[in-house]
Amino acid sequence: MRVLVTGGAGFIGSHVVDALVGEGHSVRVFDALLPAVHRTKPSVNDAAEFIVGDVTDQAAVDSALRGVDAVCHQAAMVGLGVDLDDLPVYTTHNDLGTAVLLAAMARRGVGRLVLASSMVVYGEGGYRCAADGPVRPGPRRPADLDRGRFEPPCPRCGEPLRSTPVTEDAPLDPRSVYAATKVAQEHLAAAWAMATGGTVLALRYHNVYGPRMPRDTFYAGVASIFRSALERGEPPRVFEDGGQLRDFVHVHDVARANLAALEHGSTPGRLTPGQLVPANVGSGRPHTVGEMASALAAAFGGPAPIVTGQYRAGDVRHIVASSDRAHDLLGYQAAVTFTEGMTAFAHDPLRG
């Protein structure tokens, strides 16, 4: 199978390329090498064809799709976004770029797409109240956060809530610029599938970490930010009280999920044409941000984390995944444990 991997020189995309090459597939990488992501020239698997180009460039995308059987769309601006000034660049690269790609796929007759989506489309994760059952809390109020009241209360009775795994049928509730663009990507891909009869698997990644993460930038994930602080001899600075639950999933597991999704889509009759199917990709073993910082610092050799009590607008309290659908549909199951992954990540090479 010949696969086009957009964003294939990036953190996750490069691992997807390695996984595809390792299974004997023919891979074409298409990446704009944006300076915000690539401050130095990245290395790409020698067995892959590499084209420098932007997904917003119609002619370049059309050319890159020649002879392709499937597309793995990883190209995107990532992170929450620094402020609302990021709106134009995020929507350009994430949403306009996706629209250009989908239109070109329709012209070329390429009917299989694996889309890199994200858990941020859900906003807060799943919650259950002892009295009222499953509930969805509203956005956290700045007045509560200023007082250190980080746990969202039950919107009906005001009592504390218990975090539960979020499933793919949960309502979408984007709470950042980035999250809004990922929801738009899914909707565009769903419209493309309906119009063309194509198939889309939207893999909703949870907190991905591992080798080749970009070093500390405004757009880096929390694991990379903590690791970069440790390299500078500084303690990781943990927001809120460190009790935020997340599902940290290793990039090698995410690459395996993409490989399974692409090979799954190449099997006739396994996906219903004309629809988008979302699937969470996580580890299935939630940990707090504080636990992650402590594990990483211990493996690195210190210094120990500092819990700051600070918070960021747009951050959610708890978001953990149920990856049952990915398991049932793709046979996906995370193989890298939290301890193994964090121990390795303390010394994994990062990208400049």
97: left (phi over 0), alpha (psi -120 to 50) or beta: alpha
Give the ranges where the chain is alpha helix by DSSP (H): 11-22, 58-64, 87-90, 97-108, 142-146, 177-196, 222-231, 251-265, 289-300, 324-330, 338-345
CA distances from 294 to 121, 195, 214 (A): 28, 49, 21
Contact at 8 Å (CB) between 327 and 281? no
Cα 247 from Cα 47, distance rounded (Å): 32
**Is 94:27 a contact under the CB 8 Å cutoff?**
no
Distance separating alpha carbons of residues 28 and 1, to the nearest angstrom:
11
- Contact (Cβ atoms closer than 8 angstroms) between residue 99 and residue 191: no
Q: Cα separation of 25 and 19, whole Å?
A: 9
How far is 61 from 350, CA to CA, in rounded Å? Answer: 29
Q: What is the pLDDT of residue 43?
A: 83
Phi-psi region of 229 (alpha: psi -120 to 50; beta: other; left: phi over 0): alpha
Go through the domains of the chain in sequence order and give each one's CATH number.
Answer: 2-126+164-346 (3.40.50.720)
Q: Roughly how many angstroms between the first and final C-alpha of the chain, as a whole number?
A: 32
Tell me how far apart the alpha carbons of residues 308 and 205 are, in angstroms, rounded to a whole number. 27
Q: Phi and psi dihedrals of 36, rounded to 5?
A: -65, -20
Tens-digit pLDDT string for the chain (352 aa): 999 999 999 999 999 999 999 999 999 999 988 766 666 778 899 999 999 999 999 999 999 999 999 999 999 988 755 567 788 988 999 999 999 999 999 999 999 999 999 999 999 999 999 999 999 988 888 999 999 999 999 999 999 899 999 999 999 999 888 899 999 999 999 999 999 999 999 999 999 999 999 887 655 688 999 999 999 999 999 999 999 999 999 999 999 999 999 998 655 556 778 999 999 999 999 999 999 999 999 999 989 999 999 998 778 899 998 999 999 999 999 999 999 999 999 999 988 6
Taking a C-beta distance cutoff of 8 angstroms, is the pair 125, 175 a contact? Answer: no
pTM of this prediction?
A: 0.94
Taking a C-beta distance cutoff of 8 angstroms, is the pair 297, 256 a contact? no
